[in-house]
Structure formats: structure tokens, C-alpha cells
Structure 1
Amino acid sequence: MRSLEIKRDMGDDDIAQVTHLLDAAARADGRRPLSDHLYLDLVSGGLDGFAGLLAFEPGHDHPVAYAQVSKGNASHAFELVVHPHHRYEMATIGPELMDAALDVVRGEGGGLVNWWVFEPTSAHSELARSAAMEQTRTLYQMRRTLPSERHATITTRAFVAGADDEAWLHVNNRAFADHDEQGGWTAETFGQRQHEDWFDPAGFHMYERDGRLAGFCWTKVHRAGHSASDPSREGDDGEIYVIAVDPDFHGLGLGSELTLAGLDHLAASGITSALLYVDAANEGAVAMYRKLGFEVAATNAAFTADVAPRPGLTAAASTTAAATATERGDT
């Protein structure tokens, strides 16, 4: 009989078990599971609003599935990973983990929950319907080869840790004020990214105008064997990881120029393939990237539900329950 462990903070052994499962899924699917911010929440041991759900079956010394809830800027993010050897049980494992995860959110007072799925299938859609979730967003992965035919005409400089943090956070949070994953970053969130193995300030381009930070293009390199879309790729992938222009400088064509600055840097580093992610509803950005030679290569979908709080749970009780669960390491 399958058992489920719900953890509000993750120890080293828990993280190692989940990482083993994620690696197995990556080998089977040709892409890494868990989005960047959920993965960082996992390896950090779990921040406020975190819940890791590990499913076990008798006779197996590893979890057969993992789900995670992480609280974002204005909603909860949810993702689900089933071990490749147990996907024939998806029809039962999926609903069990989904129900348990949504119950965690109910116990914390409810709220919006977004379930991100890479290349959704009819099985994903059916699971979403069973949980009263509707598809609300589509995210494109766009790709192109390098070098680019066009090059940046603006001059950028490399990010300087410590000196640029405050200005970057200000521009990022203004540019992504309505974005759940990228908006509302704190110094702690930013510091986590800077301590990742892939972080390289030379690939983090800052553009100043009129004595202010006007925009930036932050690139990321996925080394061969750890590609964002195919761990078996022999060459490295370069990603336009985060790009933004301060709203005060919109309308000056800086989005294209900053993208080109990032592509120029990647090409000069020997990268021959570039990718980025963009919301399909952002038609202006999609059109801009197409003009820069990008084409849609894959699609992610977000299924969303507005989860009501658990009946009889007051806001104060919700806060107390969450704090108690965090202290115990369970729910």
C-alpha cells in the first residue's frame, strides 16, 4: 500500500532522495523536472509556504513520486514528478498527490494554485479537470542557433555583486510587478541564484542610461548533459534567463538590444544554441523574438485553481497550523 510523507522542511537525506528521482525523470524525459524557483526552494530545505510530498511503496527504497508546493508572489506553484518505472500508476498516484497538495493549500488559508506542465497531454488535462483546474497560461520555449545575424549596438557591462544588487532588485520588481514567479524578489531570493554553480557575472549584462540602471539581460549556460530541454545534448545551451527594461525606459527598443547583447556574449563563449521562455500571451515579446530569429520549440501550460480555505479555518488558525507544521517538519 502506498504511503505519503508531507514535509515542510527538507533534510539532506530528503533532498538526496528527491534529487535521485528528479535525475531518473530527466534521463527518461530528456528534460529536467521542476522549474528553477521550485528546485531552489527544494535544495534550500524549504522556505515559508513550502511542502514536499513524497510517495513510497513497499519494496522500494526510493520515492515513487514527488510533488511540491511553493508559495510565490501571489499564488502557490505546484509540480508533480512520477518515477519513470511507476508511470503506469499515474492514474492513481497523480490524483493522490494532487489532492494532498491542494489540501496543504486549504490548510494554509487557500489561494490560487498554478500547476505547470511541460508539453501537456490528455492525461494531464484529465487530472487537471478532476481537480477543477483550468488552463490559464501557455509558456513558449523558443530557440535559435548562434551566432546571430544581428549584433547589439548598445554598450553593457558585467554585473558587480554587492554594488548592483539593490538597483537590480528595483528594476526587476518594477518590470515584473504583475508576474508571480519573477516579481517580488527579495535579497535572499537573488542571493540564492548568485550562489548557484551556473552563475556567471560576466554573462549578466547591465545597461545604464541617464545615470540609472535602465535594463539588463541575464544569461545562463546549461552545460552538456544538463540541458534545459535535453540532458543528452552534446553541446552547451545558452539561455536568455531573465531580461527586463525599467518601465521608465520602455519604447526605446531596448528589449531587442539587450537580447542581442546576451546572444553576442553567448556566441563569443562558444555557445551555438540559444533558448528562452516567454508567455504566449505576450504577443509583442513573441513577435520581437521571432524577428531576432527565435522559433517556438516546446510549450508549457499552467493549470490554475482557486482553492478555498479549509472549512472552519480562520486566518489566525491557518498561520498557527503552518508554523506548527514547519517546526515539526510535517503537517
Structure 2
Amino acid sequence: MRCLEIKRDMGDDDIAEVTRLLDAAARADGRRPLSDHLYLDLVSGGHDGFAGLLAFEPGHDHPVAYAQVSKGNGSHAFELVVHPHHRYEMATIGPDLMDAALDVVRAEGGGIVNWWVFEPTSAHSALAESASMQQTRTLHQMRRRLPTERHATIDTRDFVPGSDDESWLSVNNRAFAEHAEQGGWTIETFSQRQQEDWFDPSGFRMHERDGRVAGFCWTKVHHDGHGVSDPNHSGDDGEIYVIAVDPDFHGLGLGSELTLAGLDHLAGLGITSALLYVDAANEGAVAMYRKLGFEVAATNAAFTAEVESRPGTVPERQGPC
């Protein structure tokens, strides 16, 4: 009989236990299983709207699966990771964790829940359907080799921590006002990212016009064997992590130029493979990246449901823990 623990705060031992599960999944899949904002919510111990769900089975000294709910910009994000040795049980583990996670959202007032899945299979679609979730978004991972044939023609500078934080935050939140994951950031959210080992101010290219930040290109390096791997490439990967132009400066071609500035920086580090993520519905951005030599390499999908409020208390444990 499976046991399920639901935690609103994660202690050091809890984080270590979940991290071992995530590492096992990463070794099996060649990529880190949780998105950045959920992972940072986990390792910080959990914020308001957080719930970590750990599934255990008799005879196993490790969690067989982990699911997480994190509150974002006007919605809840849900992700599910099953230990590689227990994926044959996905048909029962998945629904157990999905039902418990949605109960958490119901108890907290309900709302929109987004479940992101990397390269969804029929099993993912069946689980989504059982929870009355519909596929609402498709996210392309696009890739190209470096260096590029073209290079940036605009001036950019390094991000300056402590000095650029507020101006960057303003541009980011204006550019992503309707975005569930990237919009609505706070200084605390941003500070978390700056504490990550991969954060490099020189890879965070800032462009100014008329004394204002007009746009930025924030890059990230995935070192060999970590992060998002390319099966045809054994070295480090460079990512265009976040890129945006302030709405006041739209129409000037800055999107392409900032992308090139980021790619120039990555190529200068000796990196030969670049990737980025873009919403498939953003046809203009997809077309721009294709013109810059990117091609679709993988696809993620978001399954979405609107959960009604059902006030009550969700038990901390389900089953014979």
C-alpha cells in the first residue's frame, strides 16, 4: 500500500531526499526534471502556495515519486517526477499524486493549474484526461550550432547586481505581464536566481536607449552532463534563458539583435551548441528564431484545468505512512 506525505515546508532532510530522486531522473532522462521556478521553490523550503508530495512504498528506502504545486503569476504550476525504477507504476502513481495535488489547490481556494510535460506520451495524455485537463500550450525547445553567421550590431553591457535589479524587474514584468511563469516576479524571486551557481552577470546582456533599459538577453550555461542535454553534442550547452524588450521599444528589431548578443557571448566562451524555449503560439518569435538559424528540437506541453474551490484541510499523510 502506497503512502503519501504532503509537506508545506521542506526541511533539509526532505530537500536532500527529493534531490536524490531528481538526480536519478536526470541521469535516466539526460535533463533536470523540474523547471527552474519549481526547483528554486523546493530548495528554498517552500513559499506560500507550495506543496511537496512524496510517495513511498513498502520495502523502498527512497520516495518512488515526487510532485509539487507552486503558486505563480495568477495560476498554480504542477509537476510530477516518478523514479526511473518505478515508471512501470505510472498508471497508479500518477493519478494518486495528481488527485492529491488538485485537492491542495481546491483547499486553498481553487484556480488555474498548469501541468508542464516534456515530450508528452499517451500516458501523460491519459492522466491529464482523467483529471479533466486540456492541452493549452505548446513550448518548443529550439537549437542551433555556434558561432553564428551574423553578429549583434547593438551595444550591450554586463548586468550589475544591486544596481540594475529594479530597472530589470520593471522591464521583465512589463514584457511578461500576461505570462504565467515569467511575469509577476519580485525582487526576492530575482535574488534567488542570482544565488544559483550558474548565474554570471557577464552573460546577462543589457541594452540601453535614451538612458533607460530597453531590453536584455539573459544567458545560462548548462555544463556537460547537467541541465538540458543535446544527444548529438557532448560539450556545454548555452541557453538564451530569458530575453525581452520593453514594450516602449518594440518595433526596432531589438529582439533579433539581443538574441545575437547573447549568442555572441556564449560563442566567446567556446560553447558550440545553443538552445532556447519559445511558445509555439508566438509565431513571430518562432519565425525570428528560425531566421537566426534555430530549429525545433523538442516539444513540451502544458495541460490545464480550472479547479473549483473546496475549503477544507488536506491531511499531511495519506495511507499507512
The normalised TM-score by structure 1 is: 0.94
Match in the other structure for 1:174: 174
Gaps of 5+ in 2: none
Match in the other structure for 1:158: 158
The number of residue pairs the alignment matches comes to 318
CA contact under 8 A between 1:205 and 1:261: conserved in structure 2? yes
Q: Could you tell me how far apart the structure 2 residues matched to 1:217 and 1:7 are?
A: 36
CA contact under 8 A between 1:8 and 1:330: conserved in structure 2? no
Match in the other structure for 1:104: 104
CA contact under 8 A between 1:38 and 1:70: conserved in structure 2? yes
1:1-331 to 2 correspondences below 5 Å: 1-230=1-230, 234-310=234-310, 313=311
- Sort the Cα spacing of 1:265 and 1:163 in 2 relative to 1 into closer, same or farther, 3 A: same
Instruction: Provide, for residues 187-221 of structure 1, a one-character-per-residue CA deviation record: whole Å limited to 9, x for no partner.
Output: 00000000000000000000000110000000000
Gaps of 5+ in 1: none
CA contact under 8 A between 2:4 and 2:317: conserved in structure 1? no
Q: Could you tell me how far apart the structure 2 residues matched to 1:153 and 1:226 are?
A: 32
CA contact under 8 A between 2:30 and 2:225: conserved in structure 1? no
Q: Could you tell me how far apart the structure 1 residues matched to 2:225 and 2:269 are?
A: 18
CA contact under 8 A between 1:31 and 1:230: conserved in structure 2? no
Q: Could you tell me how far apart the structure 2 residues matched to 1:330 and 1:297 are?
A: 40
Deviation of 1:29 (Å)? 1.3
Deviation of 1:28 (Å)? 1.1
Q: Could you tell me how far apart the structure 2 residues matched to 1:106 and 1:233 are?
A: 44
CA contact under 8 A between 2:224 and 2:234: conserved in structure 1? yes
Q: Could you tell me how far apart the structure 2 residues matched to 1:147 and 1:234 are?
A: 16
Q: Could you tell me how far apart the structure 2 residues matched to 1:45 and 1:93 are?
A: 24
Percent of aligned positions that are identical: 84
Deviation of 1:234 (Å)? 2.7
Output the amino acid matched with 1:95: P
RMSD value over aligned CA atoms?
1.6
> Structure 1: which 4+ aligned runs deviate by more than 4 Å?
230-233
Q: Could you tell me how far apart the structure 2 residues matched to 1:163 and 1:195 are?
A: 16
Deviation of 1:27 (Å)? 1.1
- Sort the Cα spacing of 1:275 and 1:20 in 2 relative to 1 into closer, same or farther, 3 A: same
